Amino acid sequence: MEIKEGLTFDDVLLVPKYSNITTRSQTDLSTKLSKNISLNIPLISANMDTVTESAMAIAMAREGGIGIIHRFLTVEEEVEEVLKVKRSASVMIENPYTISPDQSAKDAINYMHEKGVSGLLVVKDSKLAGILTHRDVMFESQSNKLIRDIMTKDVITAKPGITIIEAKETLRQHRIEKLPLVDDKGIIRGLITSKDITHNEDYPNASKDKKGRPLVGAAVGVKGDFMERTEALLNADADAIVVDIAHGHSENAINTIRNIKKAFPNCELIAGNVATARGAEDLIKAGVDAVKVGVGSGSICITRVITGSGVPQLTAVYDCAQIGKKYEIPIISDGGTRTSGDLTKALAAGASTVMVGSLFGGTDESPGSFVMKNGKRYKIYRGMASFYAALGRKSKETGNVTANEDLNDYVAEGVEAMVPYKGTVTDIIKQLAGGVRSGLSYCGAHTIPQMQQNAEFIKMSRAGFAESQPHDVDLM
């Protein structure tokens, strides 16, 4: 038996090359997420229930990456998370939230809180009748006053087709925050807000769809309601669907890909995880628009321990990237990334983007509550093949987990852990992106594709790895 050597990030370094880059701003981190979607930075937040819901996805899109909403929600809940991202910023809100003038102030407050908005358009007989803002109902939390008695009736409006510059001037001139777009019949056709305009100016690098809304992806499984879930997510304008399965080189995954592509041929479909060139090629032939690579490399994944299976991440990415290049299908490196150096090595080995989990866990934007341990703040972080994640998934799928079930049927391939509180994810994204920009300059490259052409790896010993770390000093 010939035993192939496998390498991971700590086994190699990139050989420095001549560079004519004088400042990191000369580098360009734009890349492909999938066949038809581009990003401004090569970062994806993982579709894990302790990493990505709407708050994380919004933050990722603002910085130029993308978040993938996890699938361990009901269909309605996952759709709502996608809609929250899409509504968080746009050139124009096409379907603004509305309320009837015959409802109460209490109803309005509850609705605003549910949808996370600060204002509602009041509609009667399908036409704009007024506008209700947070200021109108600030002290009416228990009030039964009707909305018609507290709303603003003389609403400043504009016609559909108004430019952003014109809308900005109208908002400034009238000192208002919301500008409904109304046609000649009084029917609401959209809404422009000062918040959305400000977001466009504050986040020039944001990743957006054709309508100027944040990009967002969403995950589905390979069993049960995956077709209905996919349809609902696409109807909510999810930009990419991720077929989420630990062992992606399988009949289940390939059949799912074919079924989704047959029903929704225009869907941007990402699938994985695989760890071999053959696995990547089989998914590509089944119809995917990007392949997710990584088996057992995640910080809370114990697949290699439990099953004895896996491929060291650098080798897996490199092998799959050769196939991806052949078919012009992007490769996503998923797992094993602990530093911006690891991120740079994954990209240099051929990945177009890198999916990150643990680095983004413990941030303000990750789901879950804070816990205290020894006076320090933490958040729970768990693998999606962990014991409690499996129980949660079973509960979502069947409605309950009975006491009669044999818990030995659940063979965990992930663990639950706590990660320290890290603050906002925006700071982490900027540090990672800055490290990659420096990595490009050391490779003498202005772009990620250029770095992939220039990249030369060198293996290092354990002594070489130790030499790469801080040594012979007392760290402060």
Active site residues: 301
The DSSP-derived string for 59-78 is HHHHHT-EEEE-S-S-HHHH
On whether 438 is known to bind a ligand per the annotation, the reply is no
Nearest to 81 by CA among 31, 112, 113, 115: 115
User: How many other CB atoms are found less than 10 A from the CB of residue 360?
Assistant: 29
On whether 383 is known to bind a ligand per the annotation, the reply is yes
On whether 295 is known to bind a ligand per the annotation, the reply is yes
On whether 246 is known to bind a ligand per the annotation, the reply is yes
On whether 366 is known to bind a ligand per the annotation, the reply is no
- Report CA-CA distances (Å) from 57 to 47, 366, 440: 10, 9, 26
Token couple for 235: 């109807």
C-beta separation of 9 from 345 below 8 A: yes
On whether 87 is known to bind a ligand per the annotation, the reply is no
Token couple for 458: 């060198």
On whether 468 is known to bind a ligand per the annotation, the reply is yes
User: How many other CB atoms are found less than 10 A from the CB of residue 21?
Assistant: 17
Q: For residue 418, what are the β-bridge partners?
A: 380
- Report CA-CA distances (Å) from 409 to 244, 270, 396: 21, 29, 17
On whether 299 is known to bind a ligand per the annotation, the reply is yes
Q: Burial, 179: exposed, middle or buried (Cβ in 10 Å; 0-12, 13-18, 19+)? A: buried
Dihedral of alpha carbons 149, 150, 154, 158, sign: negative
On whether 382 is known to bind a ligand per the annotation, the reply is yes
Nearest-angstrom CA–CA distance, 170 and 166? 6
Nearest-angstrom CA–CA distance, 220 and 342? 28
On whether 427 is known to bind a ligand per the annotation, the reply is no
On whether 162 is known to bind a ligand per the annotation, the reply is no
On whether 5 is known to bind a ligand per the annotation, the reply is no
Q: Burial, 370: exposed, middle or buried (Cβ in 10 Å; 0-12, 13-18, 19+)? A: exposed
On whether 352 is known to bind a ligand per the annotation, the reply is no
On whether 248 is known to bind a ligand per the annotation, the reply is no
On whether 413 is known to bind a ligand per the annotation, the reply is yes
For residue 172, give every residue at least 6 positions away whose Cβ sits within 8 Å of its Cβ, in sequence order, or none.
none
Q: For residue 272, what are the β-bridge partners?
A: 244, 292
User: How many other CB atoms are found less than 10 A from the CB of residue 247?
Assistant: 17
Annotated binding site for NAD(+): 244-246, 294-296
Annotated binding site for IMP: 299, 334-336, 357-358, 381-385, 413
Annotated binding site: 244-246, 294-296, 298-299, 301, 334-336, 357-358, 381-385, 413, 467-468
Annotated binding site for K(+): 296, 298, 301, 467-468
